[in-house]
Structure 1
Amino acid sequence: MRIKGISRFGAVTVMAVAALCALPAGAQEAAIYSGMDRIHPVWAENGMVAAQERVAAEVGRDILAQGGNAVDAGVAVAFALAVTLPRAGNLGGGGFMLIHDAETGETQAIDYREMAPAGATRDMFLDAAGEADSDKSRYTGAASGVPGTVAGMKLALDRYGSMEWAVVIAPAVKLAEEGITVTPDLADSLEALKERLTRYPSAAKIFYKDGGELYRPGDKLIQADLANTLKKIAAEGPDGFYKGPVAEAIATSVTDAGGKMTPDDLAAYKAVLRTPVKGTYRGYEVVSMPPPSSGGVHLIQILNTLEGYPIGALGQNSSETIHLMAEAMKLAYADRSEYLGDPDFVDVPVAALTSKEYAKDMRAKINLAFATPSEQIKPADLTPYESDQTTHYSIIDKDGNAVSNTYTINFSYGSGLVAEGTGVLMNNEMDDFSAKPGVPNAYGLIGGDANAVGPGKRPLSSMTPTIVNKDGKVWLVTGSPGGARIITTVLQVIMNMIDHNMNVAEASTAPRIHHQWLPDELRIEEGISLDTQRALQAKGHVLSLQEVMGSTQSVMLDPESGYLLGASDPRVAGAATVGY
């Protein structure tokens, strides 16, 4: 095994100081220890995994070292994260995976987003007065869509993997059965979410000691029910989850908590293959997730718009660059509210939104000197959320195969409901539908009729797993959690590397901004200079200093050296990039 690290000492540049200011205290310490004279990526020669939790990343690394390919490692990481990062890793949720096949040069998208049960109705989250009932759509059994993770992982492995199903699940079984060491990050999250997780006794008995005592760093957390569920899945395939005792327990628990999920809903679930959305940016090919994710469409839409400006010359995080980014973001998020939804139920104008011609129309709407008020921006006339607790991982193997995977149970620990006897935390993804068109969801995103609740529909998402190619070969694999901010987080990593010539670690660490049309505010992290802030305010932007945005996990293949270079965002504790 050969992994190259980063220097510990050296002078800290102005950019590094600004980047440090954007990080929470624990991450600042880690970044300083790593050496911020130049923020270096980790590098390796044969394979690399970047994930939001170290033990799961190492599981993927070990699969690669055993001869597995990127998909084998990706499936193993997904199951391991269900044990080691329970607030986001999951069996009871869903997501999206991009797979690049180096031999054929093709990239395939797998949609394993949750689906609304057959009993779901358009007005199921409205109260007696016809208003959206957020408690019902977030914290009850009705909040859960039919999970897709198990089916999605099996589809990926069957089509693109090289190892046996039981082999890639085995590390997760061991972790659940023998226990994981509670990290400070896990202990903090369990303490912060105690009220939600103790709402259901099935969750409380797993994540808290007798009498409700908290787990502390260094304690051992054993998840015996989850281990048994994983063993059934390993032995029986998806049928061990979607049929039989596990499916019946999930349906019963969801129904008892106010939902309408049945064993038939679980048995009917299917993950599907979709054609990725593709665009170009300054000679690079950008490949990302299509609907029901809005991520790829709007990532390419914003890049197309910004391609018409000299972003590199204007400077990274200058007031001019941030102004142009914010104005392009507003226009894209307005379109999201109107046009995006499940493509199996509504016609989504993907080609129009991602066209270079439409980008010209967007640029014509941007005033270079002043911010356009959001109330004056409407969706274009063309023939819409995840929480921060989504998680992403990126993988490239020795042959150049790549996986970019983002999956979630929505809120941290989902709805807080564990299906009795299974150890499976249930998602609250039904809140990602538009409970009432025009009314913001939990994260301020507006949705329309295209994303209304309906039986069998998949809710709109912001997840943006992305692969960027250079000269026909994979150059960058990236993605992030962050809810509405996922799209703009991925956008800025790509722009930082292409426009501003940053390495993958610098691009991951630089301070970020975000605008989502409504509310009409430009969110910024610490690290944006005061002079820049004043210049933006003079242009009419309303600034809102926010907590850190996203947790990017990125791996790139350096075309000159042939080495793999990777970086885990220091904004979130416990993430790791490992290789061999």
Structure 2
Amino acid sequence: MGVLKVVVTTGLAFAALTLPSMAQEKAIFDPMDRIHPVWAEHGMVAAQERLAAEIGRDILAKGGNAVDAGVAVAFALAVTLPQAGNIGGGGFMIVHDGPTGKTVAIDYREKAPAGASRDMFLDAQGNADSGKSLYSGAASGVPGTVAGMKAALDAFGSMDWAEVIAPAIRLAEGGIVVTPKLADSLKDARKQLEAFPSSARIFLKEGGADYRPGDRLVQADLAATLKTIAAEGPDGFYKGAVAEKISAAVQAAGGLITPQDMADYTVVMREPVRGGYRGYEIVSMPPPSSGGVHLVQILNALEGYPIGALGQNTGQTLHLMAETMKLAYADRAHYLGDPDFTAVPVAALTSKDYAAAMRETISADFARPSATIGPGDLTPYESDQTTHFSIIDKNGSAVANTYTLNLSYGSGLVAEGTGVLMNNEMDDFSAKPGVPNAFGLVGGDANAVQAGKRPLSSMTPTIVLKDGKVWLVTGSPGGARIITTVLQVIMNMIDHKMNVAEASTAPRAHHQWLPDELRIEEGISLDTIRILQAKGHTIALKPAMGSTQSIMRDGASGAVYGASDPRDPDAATVGY
């Protein structure tokens, strides 16, 4: 049988690669063995929890658009996925309006209270105090989810505000059946939740017992809060009794949020980060998310290599990915922050010329130690516990939404009488430049704590366009690993020609510069690991990364194909 010899000369010295012929490929890979995605004719929702996904699907089926469904899913997840779904947190939404072709980034990230200060998370010795930035009232920023959902619905929705919140109210009032995953999650968070009596009363059974699979979890206070929001709009959350209760609870736990902070919260409509990769347009979230910038930056650098020919999860492909990831995360630590407070060099970081300069520093044979890597010189180029859902409607409109409380169940604090779990997003600031946060990410002055500022995030809600039409909607939870998780779904589909289910299932790898280790999931072959080790990589086999929720739209037929990450047993993709 014939073979194809590929010799790559892109500034690096690769050995000749011998690849199977097409006939050999067909003999090795039986198409009937492929993992198949969910198919639907009109519209689809992929979310990390089935009840919420079905609520979104029902909204689409009754004539609602992608944003109508997205707002309904977001409020439903606040009930069904309390460890991440929320109204006490914040996040980012990318909306593509099919009829007009307009794409907008909606920033509803939490904000630091007016009383926040640069050194608020340092102890008497000047060291970062992670207990204060994670598990006290001071850990909470002003929530943005309610305002963000209203801004999205006002700008792009077609249904009434109260109508899209109604399903969440029914779930909170009537209760949800506890799944095995939710039971395990609540048990794991027990210490965190029982630290606050207001939280323990909801998330532990009477007498202090753990919820078990099959039990019914009722959230009556949350239902009452949702009813107030449905009747009064965001003012029912940011002003009046609910805002006062949230402020009082946060301050009693040592935090800073005041009723005025709540009333002053604003959403920002931003221009998305855009890039091109092998004929596809990448549209993702701009700062204060680092996700879109570094997704485009890494893809720009990898576009200079024949990734498809090198093969999926081969030693050479993973090596090039890791070396590129290191450079991007070093830049993240230095340059990224809230663009309303610091100048973020987005154009420079996403420049194709800068990507070419990055490739010049990468060796095909050796892993560069992270200690020798710093932020790039941009002068020539300047001119896990989050949740994601993806939605496509029959008109080709799409929503990619990632929102979070930061760690699972946030700070663990439920504001008494509201049912609202509060975020611990203040830990996403750099408490002290150079000191890692809960996800091991190092930050600098650009992400220092400051009143009214939004903390840097890795959330990467992304829409990929082909010929101006939605081709893929994707995103994931996972903290620092979100960017690289989304990256690999896109590469798997574009470079390795996988369908959306295969792309979601394939083993993943991650490098974030510091610590200097290449994290991998089970499924990477031992031979590949040995190749990487021979190049100088320190390999760390760790638990599964991400929970991608992805939908692909076929441009010719208009049919949609989706997949929820099999790493999450409660996730679901549903269509109609």
TM bucket normalised to smaller: over 0.9
**Mapping of 1:440-479 within 5 angstroms?**
440-479=436-475
- Give the SS at the match of 1:186: helix
Note the alpha carbon deviations across 1:35-83, whole angstroms, 9 max, x for none.
Answer: 9921100000111000000000000000001100000000000000000
Match of 1:544 among 519, 540, 547: 540
What displacement does 1:15 show?
A: 8.5
Query: What corresponds to 1:28 in structure 2?
Result: none
Opposite residue 74 of structure 1, the aligned amino acid is: G
Structure-2 separation of matches of 1:407 and 1:143? 17
Check 1:86–1:456 CA distance in 2 against 1; reply closer, same or farther (3 A cut): same
Opposite residue 235 of structure 1, the aligned amino acid is: A
1:142 and 2:138 correspond? yes
Query: What corresponds to 2:15 in structure 1?
Result: none
What displacement does 1:443 show?
A: 1.2
- Give the SS at the match of 1:187: helix
- Give the SS at the match of 1:225: helix
Note the alpha carbon deviations across 1:83-129, whole angstroms, 9 max, x for none.
Answer: 00000000000000000011111110000000000000000000000
Match of 2:559 among 560, 563, 569: 563
Match of 2:416 among 414, 420, 429: 420
Check 1:313–1:220 CA distance in 2 against 1; reply closer, same or farther (3 A cut): same
Counterpart contact for 2:354–2:378, Cα < 8 Å:
no
Query: What corresponds to 1:216 in structure 2?
Result: 212
What displacement does 1:338 show?
A: 0.1
1:554 and 2:542 correspond? no
Structure-2 separation of matches of 1:225 and 1:97? 27
Counterpart contact for 2:285–2:461, Cα < 8 Å:
yes
- Give the SS at the match of 1:517: coil
Opposite residue 428 of structure 2, the aligned amino acid is: D
Structure-1 separation of matches of 2:352 and 2:245? 50
- Give the SS at the match of 1:302: helix
What displacement does 1:136 show?
A: 0.2
- Give the SS at the match of 2:400: strand
Structure-1 separation of matches of 2:416 and 2:28? 53
Match of 2:171 among 162, 175, 189: 175
What displacement does 1:471 show?
A: 1.0
1:112 and 2:111 correspond? no
Structure-1 separation of matches of 2:196 and 2:60? 38
Counterpart contact for 2:121–2:132, Cα < 8 Å:
yes
1:270 and 2:253 correspond? no
Note the alpha carbon deviations across 1:200-246, whole angstroms, 9 max, x for none.
Answer: 00000001111111111111111000000000000000000000000
Opposite residue 81 of structure 1, the aligned amino acid is: L
- Give the SS at the match of 1:97: strand
Check 1:331–1:418 CA distance in 2 against 1; reply closer, same or farther (3 A cut): same
- Give the SS at the match of 2:477: coil
Structure-2 separation of matches of 1:200 and 1:299? 38
Structure-1 separation of matches of 2:29 and 2:131? 43
Tell me how large the CA RMSD over aligned residues is: 1.2
Counterpart contact for 2:288–2:456, Cα < 8 Å:
yes
What displacement does 1:330 show?
A: 0.2
Opposite residue 209 of structure 2, the aligned amino acid is: E
Check 1:15–1:151 CA distance in 2 against 1; reply closer, same or farther (3 A cut): farther
What displacement does 1:429 show?
A: 0.1
Match of 1:304 among 300, 303, 315: 300
Structure-2 separation of matches of 1:458 and 1:372? 33
What displacement does 1:560 show?
A: 3.1
Note the alpha carbon deviations across 1:469-522, whole angstroms, 9 max, x for none.
Answer: 011100000000000000000000000000000000000000000000000000
Note the alpha carbon deviations across 1:316-356, whole angstroms, 9 max, x for none.
Answer: 00000000000000000000000000000000000000000
Query: What corresponds to 1:32 in structure 2?
Result: none
What displacement does 1:142 show?
A: 0.1
Match of 1:330 among 311, 326, 331: 326
Opposite residue 204 of structure 1, the aligned amino acid is: A
Opposite residue 329 of structure 1, the aligned amino acid is: M
Structure-2 separation of matches of 1:94 and 1:260? 17
Query: What corresponds to 2:62 in structure 1?
Result: 66
- Give the SS at the match of 2:170: helix
Structure-2 separation of matches of 1:52 and 1:36? 27
Check 1:15–1:176 CA distance in 2 against 1; reply closer, same or farther (3 A cut): farther
Query: What corresponds to 1:57 in structure 2?
Result: 53
Query: What corresponds to 1:230 in structure 2?
Result: 226
1:526 and 2:488 correspond? no
Opposite residue 92 of structure 1, the aligned amino acid is: G
Opposite residue 206 of structure 1, the aligned amino acid is: I
Structure-2 separation of matches of 1:36 and 1:209? 47
Structure-1 separation of matches of 2:331 and 2:554? 35
Counterpart contact for 2:287–2:456, Cα < 8 Å:
yes
- Give the SS at the match of 1:174: helix
Counterpart contact for 2:388–2:477, Cα < 8 Å:
yes
Query: What corresponds to 1:497 in structure 2?
Result: 493
What displacement does 1:559 show?
A: 1.8
What displacement does 1:561 show?
A: 3.0
Q: TM-score, normalised by structure 2?
A: 0.94
Q: How many residues are matched?
A: 546
Q: Runs in 1 of length 4+ with deviation above 3 angstroms?
A: 13-16
Instruction: Give 5+ residue unaligned stretches, structure 2.
Output: 1-26
Opposite residue 114 of structure 2, the aligned amino acid is: A
Query: What corresponds to 2:434 in structure 1?
Result: 438
Of all paired residues, the percent bearing the same amino acid is 77
Opposite residue 182 of structure 1, the aligned amino acid is: V
Opposite residue 275 of structure 1, the aligned amino acid is: E
Opposite residue 284 of structure 1, the aligned amino acid is: Y
Structure-1 separation of matches of 2:305 and 2:123? 47
